A = this chain, B = another copy of it.
């Protein structure tokens, strides 16, 4: 019986668990209430005006259904606007509000700090190395995920 602690799957879960906790703690310390998923969604919406939910989901490699809920909460907090697209009435166009933009700016340094904190056990060289390998592993197995990353079509 192989040891659980040596399995990549277990290490992946542990590292992600730490990443989420660190993110949450930093953002909370900044006096805000935003999860890492909500942050990723908000930041992506701010870079793509009028993006629809399905495209957003693809860009941050999330399930359509999950994003529905995330967008609900962001809308409820007044951080984004959601309206039916005029070109495609099935789709919802998303846009960041001024409140959302302001929050993104204020929160940014804390997000930065969280990213460094979760790598505090590694030297800069090691951190760089690990991120490179993670990116490589992810790219090679992107299609194995249930919600693979989908590059945005040239708009």
Min CB gap A61→B, angstroms: 6
Given A118-B144, A137-B121: A9 touches B36 (CB 8 Å cut-off):
yes
Residues in B neighbouring A112, C-beta threshold 8 A: 2
Which chain B residues lie closer than 8 Å to A147 at the CB level? 17
Residues of B within 8 A of A149 (CB): 14
Number of copies: 2
Q: Which residues of B contact A136 (CB under 8 A)?
A: 121-122, 126
- Known A-B contacts A6-B131, A126-B136; the reply to A19 vs B23 at CB < 8 A is no
- Encode A109-150 as 1/0 by CB contact (under 8 A) with B: 001101101111110001101110111111111101111010
Given the contacts A10-B40, A17-B147, A133 and B141 also touching, CB distance less than 8 Å: no
Please give, as numbers and ranges, the residues of chain B lying within 8 Å of A102 by CB-CB distance.
none
The contact of A134 among B11, B25, B114, B120, by CB within 8 Å, is B11
Some 18 contacts from A to B, beta carbons below 8 A apart, are A2-B108, A8-B130, A8-B134, A9-B19, A9-B23, A9-B114, A11-B135, A12-B15, A12-B118, A12-B134, A15-B16, A21-B144, A22-B144, A121-B137, A121-B138, A121-B139, A129-B133, A133-B133
Other 13 A-B pairs with CB < 8 A, given A10-B60, A121-B141:
A2-B111, A8-B131, A8-B134, A11-B135, A12-B15, A18-B137, A21-B144, A22-B144, A25-B144, A118-B141, A122-B136, A126-B133, A129-B133
